[in-house]
Amino acid sequence: MSASKSTTSALAILALSATTAIARDNVQIAGSSTVLPYASIVAEAFGENFDGPTPVVESGGSSAGLKRFCEGVGENTIDIANASRKIREKEIKACAEAGVTEIIEVRIGYDGIVFASQINGPAFTEFSQSDLFNALSPQVVVDGKLIDNPYQKWSDFNADLPDVEIATFIPGTKHGTREVFEEKVLVQGCKDTGAYDLLLAVAEGDSEKAKKKAAKKACYHVRTDGKSVDIDGDYTETLARIDSNKNGIGVFGLAFYENNTDTLKVATMGDIEPTTESIASGEYPVSRPLFFYIKKAHIGVIPGLKDYAEFFVSDEVAGPDGPLAEYGLVSDPELEATQTSVANETLLTGM
């Protein structure tokens, strides 16, 4: 019977793999789910244009990717970590402790974060950071005083907004997107509405700096009475929530929105419409750079690693007319500098 044959072969391979290390000839990449589509587009084109095998790209989130990246040097560890934020001091330290002392940072472009709602829903077409802060914060400013958020409808604090219940779907705390949302939307709104000053006055801390930090942290808080829902899954989950709730507002990446314009309509932020142009110029306020990090020790050991990095940032791929821009990446105006730094294998400073 074939069962016995496959048993022996499976056991033989098991024994083989347990004793010898497996030589690896493909580039292995893990990290941010925001960068994943771009990395997979590049990996695919790389496989078509070069002789070696197509790189393997996995997702899992920026933090998880960088953690695996910092596990050490060797064929069992990944070569590249994708991240939707800059690598943190703490992570650089963890990397160095595991022997990953030489890291090359590559900025591939920018990603816009947009607020969108059902295309047939109420007219959510204009937001400011203050609107979102008022809708989401557990404490808001009314008559110069900080009180528990009394607002149930958007029109309660801004007559221009629709007269419907507040229902927002924002990325959960494990997403890199949440960080951008907190920094660029909530903190800004917090300052604009004057809540920040009031929070600063009551903030506890030893120094002025500690107080400011505490006040800023207080701005990050989101109300917990069900008006705001954390989405821990992907944008598809947010889309499903929006689909079933006419009054819902969701947070999406620009690329995701551009692929789903038939069901979603986007809102402006502070009168600026999110487009690749307005994000590249920095006018649209809610955007972030995207990165990948290369383990220099693997260059020359893993075939195709440097070719992949150079191919990724080449004009044909990451430029304004390339496939990445077509998919929704806002290409970096300083791409040329990135190309040189990849070619020269410029290391991340401060290590």
Partner 1 sequence: MSDATHTSLMAQSAHTRRRNQAEKRFRAYGLAAIALGLTFLVVLLSTIFYNGVGSFQQSFVNVPVYLDPAKLDKKGNRDIADIKKVSTFAYAPLVQKGLFALIEAHGIETELKKPKDMKKLLSASSTAQVRDYVISNPGQIGETVTFRLLASSRVDGYIKGRVKRADVARDKNINVAQLDLSDAFIKAGVISKEFNLGFITGADASESRPEQAGIGVSMLGSFFMMLVVLGLSLPIGVAASIYLEEFASKNRLTDVIEVNISNLAAVPSIVFGILGLAVFIQFMHLPQSAPLVGGLVLTLMTLPTIIISTRASLKAVPPSIRDAALGIGASKMQTVFHHVLPLAMPGILTGTIIGLAQALGETAPLLLIGMVGYIATNPPDGLASGFLDPNSAMPAQIYEWAKRADPAYYERAWGGIIILLVFLLTMNLIAILLRRRFERRW
Would you count residue 301 as binding partner 1 (CB under 8 A)? Answer: no
Using N-to-C axis directions, what is the helix angle for 62-69 and 89-97, rounded to 10°?
Answer: 30
Would you count residue 48 as binding partner 1 (CB under 8 A)? Answer: yes
Q: Whose Cβ is closer to partner 1: residue 29's or residue 297's?
A: 29
DSSP of 319-337, one letter per residue? STTSHHHHHT-EE-TTHHH
Closest separation between CB of residue 350 and partner 1, Å? Answer: 30
Long-range contacts, 8-17 (Cβ 8 Å, 24+): none
Q: Could you tell me the two tokens for 334?
A: 């300083």
Would you count residue 337 as binding partner 1 (CB under 8 A)? Answer: no
Q: Whose Cβ is closer to partner 1: residue 44's or residue 179's?
A: 44
Closest separation between CB of residue 53 and partner 1, Å? Answer: 5
In contact, 38 and 106? CB cutoff 8 Å: no
Closest separation between CB of residue 22 and partner 1, Å? Answer: 6
Q: Whose Cβ is closer to partner 1: residue 20's or residue 207's?
A: 20
Closest CA to 169 of 82, 83, 256, 85: 256
**Rounded CA separation 260/87 (Å):** 31
Taking CB under 8 A as the criterion, which residues in 245-284 touch partner 1?
255-256, 258-262
Closest separation between CB of residue 328 and partner 1, Å? Answer: 9
Q: Which DSSP symbol is given to 266?
A: E
Question: Which residues lie below 8 Å from residue 17, measured CB to CB, with a gap of 6+?
Answer: none
Among positions 152, 155, 236, 340, the unique one binding partner 1 when judged by CB under 8 A: 236
Taking CB under 8 A as the criterion, which residues in 49-68 touch partner 1?
49, 51, 53-54, 56-59
Amino acid type, 292: F
Residue ranges that bind partner 1, judged by CB under 8 A: 3, 6-11, 13-14, 16-18, 22, 26, 28, 30, 36-37, 39-41, 43-45, 47-49, 51, 53-54, 56-59, 76, 233-236, 255-256, 258-262, 316, 323, 326-327
